[in-house]
Each structure stands twice: as structure tokens, then as C-alpha cells.
Amino acid sequence: MPGPIQKDHLHLGAILFPGIDQADFTTPYEVLASVPNSTFHVLGREKTPVQDTHGLILTPEIPLAEAPQLDLLLVPGGAGVNALMEDEVVLAFVRRQAAGAKVIFSVCTGALVLGAAGLLKGRKATTHWASHHLLSSFGARPVNARVVVDGNVVTAAGVTSGLDGALRVVALLRGETAGQMIQLYTQYAPEPPFNCGTPESAAPELVRAVQSHLREVLEARRAIVKRVVAKPGW
Amino acid sequence: MPGPIQKDHLHLGAILFPGIDQADFTTPYEVLASVPNSTFHVLGREKTPVQDTHGLILTPEIPLAEAPQLDLLLVPGGAGVNALMEDEVVLAFVRRQAAGAKVIFSVCTGALVLGAAGLLKGRKATTHWASHHLLSSFGARPVNARVVVDGNVVTAAGVTSGLDGALRVVALLRGETAGQMIQLYTQYAPEPPFNCGTPESAAPELVRAVQSHLREVLEARRAIVKRVVAKPGW
């Protein structure tokens, strides 16, 4: 298959953490682990298994300290992002990788980790609709779009947008044919049963119900973002 | 939220196995583990962790022998389906669960396991496009659709169709509002970057490239299906 950098072996990776929303990781993984001539590294702060927001057990294979320089780093989201935004080990890792990676790719509220690491300053970015208002605190230029590409930073909106984002990333790394082949293999010709995938298209009471469900996480999140950007030198 | 059987606690579950295509499980899991008033059981032949086709480690929490009667059983697909189609322990489990479950739900080539268990005889069904020709061997009535509902058997097509299928299943179990709330939370308003998610929409050379990539698995699969339906009493 043709592609911009087809010949180089690519090192791709993602960070797992407690309270991850597993689909923010597993959906792009499905796409990215199929990239020809590449290795996917499943990373964790330690190698200890973690549980996602619903309890699914996921097992990192390489601790952050042993990860190679990656060509692509995926940062998923989830309620556990709250702790990650103040985890200096993870933030330092993300900054270090960003300096050498071709692409830093966040899905859902993973964008807030990029924000806390200072990577979104002056950049266009998106995140899950319920946390979108927090992007500007990190100096980002919030864009109401499903996938936003700004330099080497690619941000995708809530959960399922990781699929659209990952296919775009494959096209960036390996050319459109590589992305198309994965889209065909994964039979991605979506037929959502309802027309309510965004707060703009959903009924107001549905939006309020989801916001109410997320209230506790969102309130804690707002306080954390405030603390992060108040740190000296941020 | 309103729903047909909102008041009953639901037991949902999925079977993990070596060579699973992890997205066939993790995508519906994201939806189904959010069903109100329910427990999701992550099942395996044993509790030993398994690796998906790309190497991702997934960990079952309950062996099949200890699983309760489920209201919904999810059977994912992947190359490992080839072994499952001749695994009498798994097939007996699927048959036993099907007798008492409200919904048996296959994603991708998980349909072939339902087929090998005899559950598709005379039923309308779908599966991944590259294995669709095998459905009729099991006495199924193949339908070229993304999600097919026939009685208590719901089959979804390739990989990503598990999301559309799972949202449909939630609507069946808990009513449309429950499905809509999950669709909004997961921000499912897809924007596939290419128009090639089905063999009908993709360029012929792309279809051939994916088929060629799957050739070995498909050839073995054809021989297994032949053996399964040739067994006395099938």
C-alpha cells in the first residue's frame, strides 16, 4: 500500500490508567494495531492491570519508564482523567513523547491530559461535549468538531469519535489507502439507530439527563483544572 | 427512564476467547455496561487472560461453568471463532443460555458460533461481509444488513456494527430513551473519513486486498463449517 512514510517501522502506543473509559482506547486500538509495519505498545504507569469506569480489566504491557520514543501516542479519556491531570509522572511522559512524536492523539477527555501537560496552548482542540467548556482554561482554541488536527496534535470528541480520529491518523501516517483498507475490514458504514449523538441534535431533557449523570465527575474536574493552571510556571 | 422491563435487574454477559477481535466485544461492552440496573459478566472458558488478534490482553472474570442464566449473551467474533465452532463446551454453553435468555447477540463472525450451535436454523442473520457466504451452511437465511433481529437472536455485521447493534439491543431491553442516552453520552454522531465501509461501496481492489489478507483464516473456516454441519445429529 502506498503511504507517506510506509517504509519506516512505526512505534504506536497508548496509556492505560484506572478509571479509563475503555472504548476511548479500544476503538482506536482496533484501527491503529492494524497499521502495516508497526508495533503497538500498551502502556501503564506500572504493569499492574487497571479497571475501566465499568470495571473491565485491561493490562498494560510496558511501564511508562520503559517505553520507547513513540511515533504516535494515544491518550484516552474517562473519569480517571481527573487524577491524571495532576499526575506529574504521566504529564512529564506525555510532554517528553510529544517532543519527538509524529502525532499525539487524544480521544474524549484525554484532551484534558494534553491540556494539563501544556500541549494545547494556542492550539485548536476538541473533547467530549460535556467537558468542552474546560478546554479554554488550558489556553486551547476550542473547536466544535468531531476530529481536530492542529500540527502534530489530533484531538477527537467523545468516546466513539476515536474511530473517526484513528482512521484520519492512519491516513496521515500511512496514506489514505491504508485507512480505507481498515475502514472496509472493520465494516465501518455506520447506522446509528437514533439521531441524538450530539447535544445539538439530542432533546434538551436527554442532554440534561447525561449532564446530571456526569455532575460529580464534572464538578471535581472543574476544580482540578483550576488548580492545574494556577501552578507556578504552568 | 421508561423501558419495557426497567424494574428487573438484568444479567448481561460476553464470552472472551483467544483470537477474539477485541472491538467485537469492547464496542458493545461500552454500551451494554451502561444499561441501568444491570450487571455485566465478562466470561471465559477459564479465568485465564486471553489475547485478541492483535495481542491485547483481556481478562475474563467468571468461567462459563459459574455463569448465571443471562438475560443477554454477547458472542463476539475474530479469527479465534474458528476454534470456537468446534468447542463443545462453548457450544453447549451458548445453547443452554439461548434457551433462557431474552437476547442472544452476535457481533461480526460471532454469528458463526451461533450457527455452529444450531441457533441460526431457519433464522435471518448477518455477519462480517467476508464470511457472509458461510451463513447458509448453518441453515440461516442470510440478510445483507448491518443489524438483523429475528426472535431473540440479534446478529450484527462486521466489527463496528456492534455499536449499532448494541444500541438496538438496549432499546429492546430498556426502551428507546435508555439507548438514546447512551448514544448521546458516547457522542455517536459518526463521520467516517472514507466511503468504503462495505464491499459494495469500496473499490474492487480494496475488497480484494482485505480478502487476500483474510485468506488463510477464511480457508480454514470453510473447512471447519463443513466438518461442523457434517456431524451426526447436527
Question: Within 13 Å, how many C-alpha atoms sit on residue B156's CB side?
Answer: 35
Q: How far is A189 from chain B (nearest CA, A)?
A: 5
3-state DSSP call for residue B13? strand
pLDDT tens-digit readout, B27-78 = 999 999 999 999 999 999 999 999 999 999 999 999 999 999 999 999 999 9
Any CB–CB contact under 8 A between A159 and chain B?
yes
Task: Tell me the three cell numbers of residue A169.
Answer: 491518523
Per-residue confidence (pLDDT) for residue B234, from 0 to 100: 84
Which of B146, B187, B206 is facing A184, going by the closest CB pair? B206
Inform me whether the pLDDT recorded for B233 exceeds 90: no
Q: Do A54 and B42 touch (CB under 8 A)?
A: no
What whole-number distance in Å separates Cα of residue A177 and Cα of residue A2?
7
Please answer whether residues B14 and B73 qualify as being in contact, where contact means their C-beta atoms are separated by less than 8 angstroms: yes
How close, in Å, is residue B200 to chain A by CA atoms? 10
Nearest-by-CA chain B residue for A208: B181
* Residue B177, domain member (yes or no): yes
Closest chain B residue to the Cα of A129, Cα to Cα: B187
Q: Which domain holds residue A186?
A: 10-230
CA distances in angstroms from B103 to B9, B27, B166, B197, B207, listed in the order given: 15, 17, 11, 27, 32
Write the Ramachandran bin of A179: left for phi over 0, alpha for psi from -120 to 50, otherwise beta. alpha
Long-range pairs for B85-90: beta carbons < 8 A, 24 or more residues apart: B85/B112, B85/B113, B85/B115, B85/B116, B85/B221, B85/B224, B85/B225, B85/B228, B86/B116, B86/B224, B86/B227, B86/B228, B87/B45, B89/B45, B89/B64, B90/B15, B90/B17, B90/B45, B90/B64
Looking at the partner chain, which of A21, A176, A196 has a beta carbon nearest the beta carbon of B184? A196
Judge: A185–B210 Cβ closer than 8 Å, yes or no. yes
- Note the pLDDT tens digit of each residue in A168-192: 999 999 999 999 999 999 999 999 9
Domain total of chain B? 1
Chain B window 85-104: which residues touch A at a Cβ cutoff of 8 Å?
none
| A window 186-215, beta carbon within 8 A of B | 186-194, 196-199, 201-203, 206-207, 209-210, 213-214
Task: Supply the pLDDT for residue B7.
Answer: 74
Place of cell 493490562: A59
The reply to whether A2 falls in a domain is no
Residue B153 confidence class, pLDDT cut points 50, 70, 90: very high
Interface test with B, best of A47, A186, A205 (most B CBs within 10 A): A186
Active site residue B196: no
pLDDT of B6: 60
pLDDT category of residue A3 using cuts at 50, 70 and 90: very low
Q: What is the CATH number of the domain that holds B85?
A: 3.40.50.880
Compute the nearest-CA separation of A233 from chain B (Å): 35
- Mean pLDDT score across all residues of chain B: 96
Mutation site, B160, B161, B172, B198, interface A, largest A CB count within 10 A: B160
User: Measured in Å, how far apart are chain A's first and last C-alpha atoms?
Assistant: 43
The set of cell numbers assigned to B116 is 455452529
Distance CA B111, CA B131 (A): 10
Task: Tell me what pLDDT residue A234 has.
Answer: 84
- The pLDDT of residue A6 is 60
**pLDDT for the residue B197:** 98
**Would you call A49 and B61 a contact, using CB atoms and an 8 Å cutoff?**
no
Q: Rg for chain B (alpha carbons), in Å?
A: 17
The three grid cell numbers given for residue A130, joined into one nine-digit string: 460535556
- Whether the predicted pLDDT of B4 surpasses 60: no
ipTM > 0.90? yes
A149 within a domain of the structure (yes/no): yes
CA distance A53 to chain B (A): 10
Please check whether residue B183 touches A, CB under 8 A: yes
Residues of A in contact with B161 (CB under 8 A): 187, 191
pLDDT band at A116 (very low <50, low <70, confident <90, very high): very high
CB A31, CB A63: distance < 8 Å: no
Cα A134 to Cα A222: distance, rounded to the nearest angstrom: 7
Mean pLDDT of A138-157: 98
Q: Which of B84, B76, B85 is nearest to B20 (CA)?
A: B76
The mean per-residue pLDDT over the stretch B160-175 comes to: 97
Report pLDDT digits (tens) over B209-230: 999 999 999 999 999 999 999 9
Is residue A3 included in any domain, yes or no? Answer: no
In a domain, B4, yes or no: no
The answer to whether position B5 is within a domain reads no
Evaluated on CA atoms B210, B216, B221, B223, the torsion sign reads positive
Indicate the pTM of the whole model: 0.96
A21-72 pLDDT per residue, tens: 999 999 999 999 999 999 999 999 999 999 999 999 999 999 999 999 999 9
Q: Which of B125, B112, B118 is nearest to B224 (CA)?
A: B112
What does the pLDDT look like over A180-230, one tens digit per residue?
A: 999 999 999 999 999 999 999 999 999 999 999 999 999 999 999 999 999
Helix (H, G, I), strand (E, B) or coil at A68: coil
On the question of pLDDT at A1 being above 60, the answer is no
pLDDT at B13 over 60: yes
Q: Which three cell numbers stand for residue B135?
A: 451463513
Whether residue B3 lies inside any domain: the answer is no
Does some domain include residue B189?
Answer: yes
Q: What count of CB pairs under 8 Å joins A to B?
A: 207
Instruction: Report CB contact under 8 Å: B159, A186.
Output: yes
Q: Rounded to a whole number, what is the distance in Å from the CA of B5 to chain A's nearest CA?
A: 20
Contact status of A55 with chain B (Cβ, < 8 Å): yes
Q: Which amino acid is at B146?
A: R
- In terms of Cα–Cα distance, which of A172, A174, A192, A176 is closest to A184? A176
- For range B135-146, the mean pLDDT: 98
The CA distances from residue A173 to A72, B173, B186, in Å, are: 9, 41, 26
A54 touches chain B (CB under 8 A): yes
Please give the grid coordinates belonging to residue A79.
Answer: 473519569
Q: Do B1 and A189 touch (CB under 8 A)?
A: no
Please state whether beta strands A141-142 and B50-51 pair in parallel, antiparallel, or not at all (unpaired): unpaired
Q: How far apart (Å, rounded) are the C-alpha atoms in residues A12 and A32?
A: 8
